[in-house]
Structure 1
Amino acid sequence: MVLPRDWEQYLKTNKSIKITPSLVQRDFSRIITTLGTFAKFPKRRGFSSGRIKGYKKAPRTRHDVIKKGSKKSTKNLKAP
């Protein structure tokens, strides 16, 4: 159902009248105020609250250093 503009008289609707996108756009503010919206409130921005007091991070795992070894030559190997 298309709502009339403020200065227009309300007429009985015909079942054959189709609502066009321009009619929806024209009346969108009234539709939103009637139905409401699913939009969420914006997220709070700014500084974070930080870590919880007394919380200790686990120390990072240490790994052994791997040094590059000398290459073995394949020329000296004999084929069986």
Structure 2
Amino acid sequence: MEDDPLVREAVVPALRAAGFEVVVAKNAEQAVHIIESSTHINRLFSDVVMPGPISGVDLARFLNARCSDVPVLLAS
């Protein structure tokens, strides 16, 4: 989850080049929807500070409540 388009443009290709399949969310609300509707999320990379009511920490807690074994990387 990254709200800054310039950061997304740098991070997404790097993650794909490293062999990761990437699902992009532009805001935390979209990320929550993806987590709720996905059959399998195996890692979360998220910005800490985001616009709106859900922070990266909140998003990590939300994911952890559903899948406690999923690693989370928070960046700022």
Q: TM-score, normalised by structure 2?
A: 0.22
Quick one: higher RCO (CA 8 Å, sep 6+), 1 or 2? Answer: 2
Q: Which has the higher helix share?
A: 2
Q: TM-score, normalised by structure 1?
A: 0.21
Report which of the two has the higher share of strand: 2
- Bigger CA radius of gyration: 1
